[in-house]
Amino acid sequence: MTGAREDVIVQRWRDVLACYSNVSCALDRALQDAHGIGMSEFEALDRLVDATCEQRRMHDLAGDMYLSQSALSRTVARLERAGLVERGMCDDDRRAIFVTLTDAGRERHTEARRTQRAVLAEHL
């Protein structure tokens, strides 16, 4: 790869990072101000709503998201404290933890989804 081509690729990468940073900051701020949740909490709720089952294993949810396992655990703990999700043990595999969306979580997601879509439309 030539130096000029590398420079173009690096600049494109930096543009992607700048776009992500601008959108994620605006999204996090809007969700926090209007709904009391951050971008990670919204994303977890969104993934749970999109799931085709009542509950999801934490491991599967982690595979869908951009968060580490420990960051996802903290995110789910915040959602649980707010009454938006419930966690429970799997009867078949005691190591597995299920996450279930509550009615309050579904309602908060519905409200926050409008905010998320508006921010995305404005910035993308």
Contact 80, 87 (CB under 8 A): yes
Left, alpha or beta for 121 (phi > 0: left; psi -120 to 50: alpha)? alpha
Tens-place pLDDT, residues 41-79: 999 999 999 987 778 888 889 888 988 889 999 999 999
Strand partners, 100: 55, 86
Helix, strand, coil % over all residues of the chain, rounded to 5 = 70, 10, 20
Task: Indicate the pTM of the whole model.
Answer: 0.88
* pLDDT tens digits, 79-116: 999 999 999 887 776 678 899 999 999 999 999 999 99
